Chains A and B, each alone.
Chain A
Amino acid sequence: MKKNKTDITKRKWFQITPGVVSEILPLLCVSAVLVPVFAISLPWPDQTKKYLFSSAILETGAQNLVSSLYLGYRAFDTLGETVVLLTAVTGAIMIIKSSVHTNNSYTFSQQNVPSKTRMLRTELLDTVTGKLGPVVLLFGFYVMLFGHLSPGGGFQGGVVIASAIVFLSLGSKSDGALVLTKPGVLLWIEAASFGAFLIAACAGMITGNGFFTNPFPSGFPAHAYIIFLNCAVGLKVGAGVSFLCIEMIQNKE
Chain B
Amino acid sequence: MIILILALIITLSFYALQSRDLLHGTIALSAASLLSALLYYILHAPDVAITEAAVGAGVSTVVFVWVIRATKRKDDS
Q: Is A112 an interface residue (CB 8 A)?
A: no
Chain B contact-residue range equals 20 to 34
Interface set, chain A 210-253, CB cutoff 8 A to B: 241, 244-245, 248-249, 252-253
| A155 near B51: Cβ-Cβ < 8 Å | yes
| A166 near B62: Cβ-Cβ < 8 Å | yes
Interface set, chain B 39-77, CB cutoff 8 A to A: 46-47, 49-51, 54-55, 58-59, 62-63, 66-67, 69-70, 74, 77
Instruction: Say which residue of B54, B63, B69 sits within 8 Å of A245 (CB atoms).
Output: B63
| B51 near A156: Cβ-Cβ < 8 Å | yes
Contacts of A103 in B (CB 8 A): none
Q: Is A14 an interface residue (CB 8 A)?
A: yes
B68 to chain A, nearest CB (A): 12
Q: Is B7 an interface residue (CB 8 A)?
A: no
Q: Is A162 an interface residue (CB 8 A)?
A: yes
Contacts of B49 in A (CB 8 A): 151
Of A241, A244, A253, the most chain B CB neighbours within 10 A belong to: A241
Q: Bound complex: CA of A25 vs CA of B23, how far in Å? A: 25
Contacts of B62 in A (CB 8 A): 163, 166, 245
The 7 closest A-B pairs by CB, nearest first: A151-B46, A159-B54, A163-B58, A156-B50, A66-B47, A8-B20, A151-B47
Q: A23-B17, A156-B50, A163-B59 are in contact. List 16 more A-B contacts (CB 8 A).
A: A5-B74, A13-B19, A19-B77, A66-B47, A155-B51, A159-B54, A159-B59, A160-B54, A163-B54, A241-B59, A244-B63, A245-B59, A245-B62, A245-B63, A248-B67, A253-B70
Listed by A's residue number, 24 A-B pairs whose Cβ atoms lie within 8 Å are A5-B74, A8-B21, A8-B74, A14-B18, A66-B47, A151-B46, A151-B49, A151-B50, A152-B47, A152-B50, A153-B47, A159-B55, A159-B58, A162-B59, A163-B54, A163-B58, A241-B59, A244-B63, A245-B59, A245-B62, A248-B66, A249-B66, A252-B70, A253-B70
Mark B residues whose CB is within 8 Å of A. Answer: 17-21, 46-47, 49-51, 54-55, 58-59, 62-63, 66-67, 69-70, 74, 77
